[in-house]
Amino acid sequence: MRRLALASVLLLTAACGSSATQTTAATGAYPVTVENCGATVTFDAEPERVVMLKSAAVPYLHDLGVMDRITAKAGQYPQAYYDAQTQAELDTIPLLTDKTDTSGHLQISQEIVIAQKPDLVLGQVDNLSRETLSAVDIPLIEEPALCETTQTKPTFDSVYEQMDLYGKVFDEPSEASAANADLKKRVQAATASTPSGRTAAVLYPTVGGGTTYAYGTLSMADPQLKAAGFTNVFGNVDERVFEVTREELLGRNPDVLILLYSDGDPQTVDQAITSLPGANQLNAVKNGNVLTQLFNFTEPPTPLSVTGLEMIRKRFG
């Protein structure tokens, strides 16, 4: 966990690239340089004013004991993701906005974020790119699976690697190692004696009608399904997420459907698929093998993906 003595000697600045003033913390841990989404990000000191624009980082920062570094948050943080301690930590952080569009994308102006004077922003949104923040000396870290140009297929190792990255950024390598050891034990337990021969699909339906999205091999859905003993019916599509038609879904006819959503009533998410014309012909629908769960229990790779794996195994054996 973070030591108070250490916090008192860290300078309250962080920047990326050559624009940073090179300083070193008393422990000699800084400057720290990490690679993220093809960019080099350098920190002169431990981040102390973090603005979080996506919920994916929460389980990492909680396990590292650095949630008190988050000075503002934006987006959706459903209570179902968190234990009581994590929720209590989140409740103390001011919310800038929770407004999202129908696809779950955060709607926030860059001026609001920059006005917080952060020394780190977690999560990239449509109108607030790494380049925009870099122009005002604010570093950004995105979850690697959400990088725009990624062609790397995620695995559960992706979770452990990102934990190590955050451990390096916040100078908590021991906490990162301990957290990863626990996660590996849980994955091992969840993948013991998995059944085989069943197919599945992970979808993100649009509530109220519209596009249905499916997840391919560049998403965490694919290794999560494999770990649970399923074959992803979209496992031949080397994309993270893509539009899928009703006809294609019927043609692939998965035995199990896992429906992701960001907020709202899960029953309406279920109905967005089960009410489609011909949906009653799907094996998953006919046999009642449909699981609706919150987005971060699958995507992107985080400790919550391990929880999501456990939930899938519990539901489908």
The tokens of 79 are what?
């209570």
pLDDT at position 9 is 31
pLDDT score of 27: 55
Q: At which residue do the structure tokens 């029953």 appear? A: 267
Please give, one letter per residue, the 3-state secondary structure of 222-256.
HHHHHHCCEEECCCCCCCCEEEECHHHHHHHCCCE
CB 126 within 8 A of CB 135: no
Q: Which residue has the tokens 């090179």?
A: 22
Residue 59 to residues 67, 121, 163, 218: CA-CA distances in angstroms? 9, 16, 9, 22
**Distinct helix (H) and strand (E) counts, the chain:** 12, 12
Q: CA angle, 263 as apex, 260 and 268 as ends, to 5°? A: 70
Q: Residue 190: what pLDDT?
A: 96
Cα 62 from Cα 111, distance rounded (Å) = 28
Q: DSSP character for 176?
A: H
8-state DSSP, 284: H
The mean predicted confidence, pLDDT, of the chain is 90
For 285, the token pair is 């629908």
Token code pair at residue 162: 């990102």
Q: Which residues contact 266 (CB under 8 A, 6 or more apart)?
A: 259, 292, 293
- Residue segments in the chain with a per-residue pLDDT below the cut of 70: 1-27, 102-103
Domains of the chain in sequence order? 4-150 (3.40.50.1980), 191-316 (3.40.50.1980)
* pLDDT attached to residue 82: 97
pLDDT at 148: 82
pLDDT digits (tens, 9 = 90+) for 131-148: 999 999 999 999 999 888
Q: What token pair was written down for 164?
A: 């190590």
- The pLDDT of residue 317: 87
pLDDT tens for 233-275 read 999 999 999 999 999 999 999 999 999 998 889 999 999 999 9
pLDDT at 43: 97
Other CB atoms within 10 A of residue 173 CB: 13
Integer-rounded Cα radius of gyration of the chain: 20
Amino acid found at 152: T
d(CA 113, CA 137): 13
Distance CA 201, CA 301 (A): 17
